């Protein structure tokens, strides 16, 4: 029932928000390392916060018949199993390769994150083969529409689920983003400094070529 | 001459806000039931959400049209009448209808409610449009995507009815409102149940690195590794005829008439419509924003600025290719 992804190294699906993607990926890895006894209560808390902050989507997902959707990020070791239906949304980490579900959504983690937040169009990802779906298509469509109808910020959901500690989340990310920007700026300056002598040589060569061309043209009849 | 009115789709409240914020002059939506032709799982608006959507649009000087454009079930017009009554009481700027009986109901029961004729009515000639105008007081007609620009110019001049044409999005090449391909394959159609190729009947199957799409019992297409994919509709299926696989009706491609703005203006078109109530809010924001920019530029210069918009639009369309469809094409 599962469809193989076509090109897992495809560039266009890479998220435009590398820091946020890295933070979310780290959270997923930590939850995996922590194991189900520690990880499951955190995921349950996240589901509760999601239901409180997005009642329209929570209601729509609860109205679906009981079903499971496997979310399989191709660049992470863990998958996420979503249980939908009368009990509301429930999340569990899983081994994607060993898990069967009623439907499956597969793509790069950054693209899946953007899709969940409605920052990218799912059909567009599908058209360019950056997203693979299989199984119950209606279930995937219902899930997509329920999420897309909200203004979701997954990191804000994680902050909210973390309670008082979560208040430090936005500040920490802002600080990290500023640091990352400074590092990028420094690297860019360093690169320019290293390449400056080469650039000078190229300029000199261009000038010489131009002079030669000019001489040749002046000798033509 | 009046500016083009940009009419944009919304399948969810978030998409509605995205359309308005990106520069839509009007947004069209449907109630969450079979009364509209995009009755997809999880899509569309409850009555309360529609009221909030109208308030959002009106608060920013924009309009909201409600599509009630499926054909009522014989003997059970209640849900469709109720939808028209709700649209009127909520203060919708227009309702988009297709069925004669429903047009008659709306015209009699809500004489001040503006009536637009849906593309689902498939009114493709001056006689048909004139009939809807004279009998029901239809003020605007959404034209089927089978006419050339000269056809549109003649029809607009002959009828005096405002014309609205699709300029972007999924390209339906059939006689809309009459097409039975989806019904043939699945028992459900956009005309009656509001769904073309319903997701409940769609399956994607692995064949090595090839993606096979199926609708009901039919194989619709087989996309090789890296080949752009398309929707699993029969009209865009790739079938083997005389030993050769080809697209018999239409290729997986998207309508994009942005280059034809001067011609459509000269033809007397009043409104330009973007398809895609089933698409996500990221698509809505990208396409509406691009078209807003193009229309503003067109108003200033009288030219269609295509190249700078192309990358944004190419990234979101079916088959990753666009076409001007029938607007610049004769019958073959």
B43 lies within 8 A of chain A by CB: yes
Q: What is the pLDDT of residue B39?
A: 83
Closest partner residue to B42 among A122, A141, A151, by Cβ? Answer: A141
| Range with lowest mean pLDDT among B151-160, B245-254, B287-296 | B245-254
- Average pLDDT for B226-245: 90
8 Å CB contact between B276 and B8: no
A118 lies within 8 A of chain B by CB: yes
| Range with lowest mean pLDDT among A52-56, A79-83, A84-88, B168-172 | B168-172
Q: Go through chain A and tell me how many residues it has.
A: 221
B184 lies within 8 A of chain A by CB: no
A4 CB neighbours in chain B (<8 A) are 206, 208-209
Q: What is the pLDDT of residue A177?
A: 62
8 Å CB contact between B68 and B80: yes
Secondary element (H or E) of residue B173: none
A144 lies within 8 A of chain B by CB: yes
8 Å CB contact between A33 and A144: no
Closest CA relative to residue B257, chosen from B4, B13, B72: B4
In Å, how far is A191's CA from the nearest CA of chain B? 30
For residue B78, is pLDDT > 90?
yes
CA–CA gap between residue A25 and residue A33 (Å, rounded): 12
| Range with lowest mean pLDDT among A12-16, A205-209, B272-276 | A12-16
Give the list of residues 6+ apart from residue A145 with CB closer than 8 angstroms, or none.
Answer: A60, B11, B12, B40, B41, B42, B43
| Range with lowest mean pLDDT among A5-14, A159-168, B84-93, B103-112 | A5-14
Residue range A165-195, pLDDT digits in tens: 566 666 666 666 666 566 656 666 666 666 6
For residue A93, is pLDDT > 60?
yes
Residue range B134-148, pLDDT digits in tens: 999 999 999 998 899
A121 lies within 8 A of chain B by CB: yes
Q: Comparing B329 with B246, which gets the higher pLDDT?
A: B246
B319 CB neighbours in chain A (<8 A) are 127
Residue A83 has which token pair? Answer: 């249980």
Q: Name the architecture of domain A18-161.
A: 2-Layer Sandwich (3.30)
Q: Do A145 and B226 touch (CB under 8 A)?
A: no
For residue A221, is pLDDT > 80?
no
Closest partner residue to B41 among A4, A118, A141, by Cβ? Answer: A141
- Average pLDDT for B156-181: 90
B127 lies within 8 A of chain A by CB: no
| ipTM (interface pTM) | 0.87
Quote the radius of gyration of chain A (alpha carbons, Å): 24
Residue range A52-66, pLDDT digits in tens: 999 989 999 999 999
B179 marked as binding residue: yes
Q: What is the pLDDT of residue A29?
A: 79
Q: Locate the chain A residue with the closest alpha carbon to B230.
A: A127
Which of B9, B11, B12 to probe the A interface (max A CBs under 10 A)?
A: B12
Share of chain A above pLDDT 70, in %: 73
For residue A125, is pLDDT > 50?
yes
Q: What is the pLDDT of residue B1?
A: 60
pLDDT band at residue B28 using 50, 70 and 90 as cut-offs:
very high
3-class SS at B165?
strand
B230 lies within 8 A of chain A by CB: yes
| Range with lowest mean pLDDT among A170-184, B49-63, B263-277 | A170-184
Closest partner residue to B315 among A4, A124, A144, by Cβ? Answer: A124
Residue range B202-225, pLDDT digits in tens: 999 878 788 999 999 999 999 998
For residue A10, is pLDDT > 50?
no
The segment with the largest mean pLDDT, out of A104-118, A158-172, B47-61, is: B47-61
Closest partner residue to B230 among A124, A127, A132, by Cβ? Answer: A127
- Average pLDDT for A12-17: 52
Q: Do B209 and A6 touch (CB under 8 A)?
A: yes
pLDDT band at residue A72 using 50, 70 and 90 as cut-offs:
very high
Closest partner residue to A118 among B14, B198, B223, by Cβ? Answer: B14
CATH class of B5-171+253-328: alpha beta
B209 CB neighbours in chain A (<8 A) are 4, 6
Q: Do B199 and A141 touch (CB under 8 A)?
A: yes
Q: Comparing B83 with B225, which gets the higher pLDDT?
A: B83
Q: What is the pLDDT of residue A7?
A: 33
For residue B201, is pLDDT > 90?
yes
Q: Do B204 and A122 touch (CB under 8 A)?
A: no
Domain residue spans of chain B = 5-171+253-328, 192-247
B42 lies within 8 A of chain A by CB: yes
Q: What is the pTM of this model?
A: 0.82
Mean pLDDT of chain A: 79
8 Å CB contact between B57 and B71: no
Bridge partner residues of B215 (DSSP): B202, B218
Closest CA relative to residue A13, chosen from A69, A104, A74: A74
Q: What is the pLDDT of residue A12?
A: 40
B311 lies within 8 A of chain A by CB: no
B40 lies within 8 A of chain A by CB: yes
Q: Do B319 and A127 touch (CB under 8 A)?
A: yes
Bridge partner residues of B67 (DSSP): B96
Q: Do B14 and A149 touch (CB under 8 A)?
A: yes
B261 lies within 8 A of chain A by CB: no
């Amino acid at each position: 029932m599962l469809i193989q992804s076509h090109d897992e190294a495809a560039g266009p699906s890479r998220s435009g928000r590398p820091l946020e993607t890295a933070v979310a990926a780290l959270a997923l890895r930590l939850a995996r390392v922590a194991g189900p006894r520690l990880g499951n209560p955190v995921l349950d808390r996240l589901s509760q916060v999601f239901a409180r902050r997005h009642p329209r989507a929570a209601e729509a997902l609860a109205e679906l018949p009981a079903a499971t959707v496997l979310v399989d990020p191709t660049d992470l070791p863990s998958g996420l199993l979503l249980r939908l239906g009368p009990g509301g949304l429930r999340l569990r980490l899983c081994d994607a390769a060993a898990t069967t579900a009623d439907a499956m959504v597969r793509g790069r983690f950054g693209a899946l994150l953007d899709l969940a937040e409605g920052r990218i169009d799912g059909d567009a990802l599908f058209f360019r083969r950056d997203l693979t779906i299989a199984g119950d298509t209606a279930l995937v469509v219902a899930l997509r529409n329920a999420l897309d109808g909200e203004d979701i910020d997954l990191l804000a959901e994680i902050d909210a689920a973390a309670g008082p500690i979560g208040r430090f989340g936005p500040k920490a990310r802002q600080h990290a983003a500023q640091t990352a920007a400074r590092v990028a700026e420094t690297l860019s300056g360093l690169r320019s400094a290293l390449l400056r002598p080469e650039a000078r040589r190229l300029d000199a060569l261009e000038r010489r070529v131009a002079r030669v061309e000019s001489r040749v043209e002046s000798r033509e009849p | 001459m009046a500016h083009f009115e940009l009419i944009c789709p919304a399948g969810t409240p978030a998409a509605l806000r995205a359309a308005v914020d990106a520069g839509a002059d009007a947004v069209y939506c449907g109630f969450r039931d079979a009364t509209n032709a995009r009755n997809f799982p999880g899509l569309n608006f409850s009555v309360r959400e529609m009221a909030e959507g109208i308030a959002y649009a009106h608060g920013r000087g924009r309009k909201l049209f409600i599509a009630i454009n499926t054909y009522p079930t014989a003997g059970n017009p209640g849900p469709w009448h109720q939808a028209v009554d709700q649209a009127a009481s909520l203060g919708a700027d227009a309702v988009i209808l297709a069925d004669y009986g429903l047009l008659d109901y709306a015209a009699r029961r809500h004489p001040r409610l503006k009536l637009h004729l849906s593309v689902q009515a498939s009114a493709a000639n001056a006689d048909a449009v004139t009939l809807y105008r004279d009998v029901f007081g239809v003020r605007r007609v959404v034209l089927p995507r089978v006419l050339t620009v000269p056809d549109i110019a003649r029809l607009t001049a002959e009828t005096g009815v405002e014309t609205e044409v699709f300029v972007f999005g999924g390209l339906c090449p059939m006689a809309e409102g009459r097409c039975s391909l989806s019904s043939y394959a699945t028992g459900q159609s956009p005309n009656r149940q509001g769904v073309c190729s319903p997701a409940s009947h769609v399956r994607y199957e692995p064949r090595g690195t090839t993606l096979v799409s199926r609708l009901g019992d039919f194989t619709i297409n087989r996309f090789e590794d890296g080949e752009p994919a398309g929707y699993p509709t029969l009209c865009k299926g790739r079938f083997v005829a005389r030993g050769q696989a080809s697209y018999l009706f239409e290729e997986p491609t998207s309508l994009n008439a942005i280059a034809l703005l001067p011609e459509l203006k000269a033809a007397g078109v009043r409104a330009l419509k973007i398809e895609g109530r089933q698409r996500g809010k990221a698509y809505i924001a990208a396409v509406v924003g691009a078209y807003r920019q193009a229309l503003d530029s067109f108003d200033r210069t009288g030219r269609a600025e295509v190249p700078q918009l192309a990358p944004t639009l190419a990234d979101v369309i079916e088959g990753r290719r666009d076409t001007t469809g029938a607007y610049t094409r004769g019958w073959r």
